[in-house]
Amino acid sequence: MSALGQAIEAPPQTAMLQMIYGFCVSRALCVAAELGIPDLLNGGAMSSEELARATETHAPSLFRLLRALESVGVFAKDDQERFALTPLGTVLRSDVPGSLRSFAIEVLGRNHYSAWGTLLHSIKTGEIAFNHVYGVGRWQYNAEHPEEAESFDQAMASATSAVAAAILDAYDFYSCGTIVDVGGGDGSLLAAILKAYPQLRGVVADLPHAVAGAQRRLQTEGLMERCDVVPCDFFAAVPKGDTYLLKWIIHDWDDQRSKMILKNCCAAMANGERVLVMEAVFRPGAATVFTKFLDLAMLVMTGGRERSEAEYRALLASANLRLTRVIPTKSELSVIEAVRA
C-alpha cells in the first residue's frame, strides 16, 4: 500500500511507471516467500551473503532482490548492508498469526499467475482465463493435481487466519448450536470459532481432498470430539446444522451456481436457522482497491464475482432466503446474514 500511495502522489508518468512495474513487486514478494527469507530474518538482521548461503542462491542477485523489496517497505537495510524484517515483511513469516506466506506463493507463483497472463481473453470474451489456459476449470484442475490442491488449501488457510479474528470480533456466535462450514477447506475458520465458543459443535463439509486436511488440523487443535468432517458436493447437498458458513465460497460462482449452493443450505435448515455468507461487499462510492481487484480475480480464475448488498439480497431471495443484515468487519470481509424466507 505504501508503494501505491507513493504512486498516487507522484507525477503522472512516474506514477504510471510504478504501476506498470507492479507485477515486478509481486514476483519479488513471491520469490522472497518461497525462499523463506522472512523466516530466516526472524532471528535478526543478516547480510545478503549469509542469506544466500542459507537459501543456496547467488548472493549478488539476492542482494538486488532484497534491495528492491526494501524500497517498498518489506525489508529494512542498515549501514552495514544487513537486511532486517519490517512489520510489513513479518506477515510473510510462516510462523506468525495471520501469515500470508502460503497465500503469496499460491497467488503470485502458481497457476494464478499464468491465468492472469491471459486476462485479455476474459475481457474480450467474458470467459474464464484459467479455463482457457489449462483446458479445465479451477476445481477440476485441483482434483487432478494434488500438489496444486494442497498449495491452494494452504493458501486459503493462510488467508483465513488473516481474517478470522475480525470475523469473531464482528459476529456473535453464542446462540449457534452446530455450525456447518460449507467448503470449509482445512477447517481453519471453524477451529477458531470453536475455540472461542467451547459450547458449540461444528461440521467441516468439503470435497474429499480438502476435508483430509481438516481432519489433521482439528486433531492438532484438539477439537475432533466437537467436530465432524464430512466429504460432500455442495451442489448436491450439505449436512444438517443450524448455522451455515460460506466464507469466500459464493464469490467463486456465477448466480446460477451460487443459487444452487444456497438452496441446498436452505433445504437443510429449519425455521430460525441461518446462513452466514462472508464476502467482500461492493458499497457505492466506498469499494476498496482490494475488492475491485478481487472481483477481477474471480473473472480470471473461476467465473465468479464480488457483489453489492442489493445483489446479495436478490441472490438470497432466489434461494428462498431473506437477507437480515450485513455486518462489516475490520477486514475486507462482511458477514451477510440470512434466514429462511
Just list the catalytic residues.
Answer: 251
Distance CA 218, CA 221 (A): 5
DSSP code at position 224: G
The candidate with the shortest Cα–Cα distance to 244, out of 167, 180, 188, is 180
Distance CA 295, CA 219 (A): 35
Distance CA 274, CA 164 (A): 19
Q: Which residue has the cell 487432478?
A: 144
Q: What residues have CB less than 8 Å from 241, skipping those under 6 apart?
A: 177, 178, 179, 180, 203, 268, 273
Distance CA 160, CA 206 (A): 16
Indicate left, alpha or beta for 160 from its phi (over 0: left) and psi (-120 to 50: alpha).
alpha
Q: Which residue has the cell 464469490?
A: 251
Q: Report which residue type is found at 132.
A: H
Print burial letters for 70-91: b (CB count within 10 Å at least 16), e (below 16): bebebbebeeeebbebbeebeb
Print burial letters for 32-68: b (CB count within 10 Å at least 16), e (below 16): bbebbbbbbbeeebbbbeebbeebebeeeebbebbeb
The candidate with the shortest Cα–Cα distance to 235, out of 212, 258, 255, is 258
Bridge partners (DSSP) listed for residue 181: 204, 245
- Give the HSE-up count for residue 220: Cα atoms under 13 Å, Cβ half-sphere: 11
Q: Which residue has the cell 449457534?
A: 176
Q: What residues have CB less than 8 Å from 158, skipping those under 6 apart?
A: 99, 100, 101, 102, 103
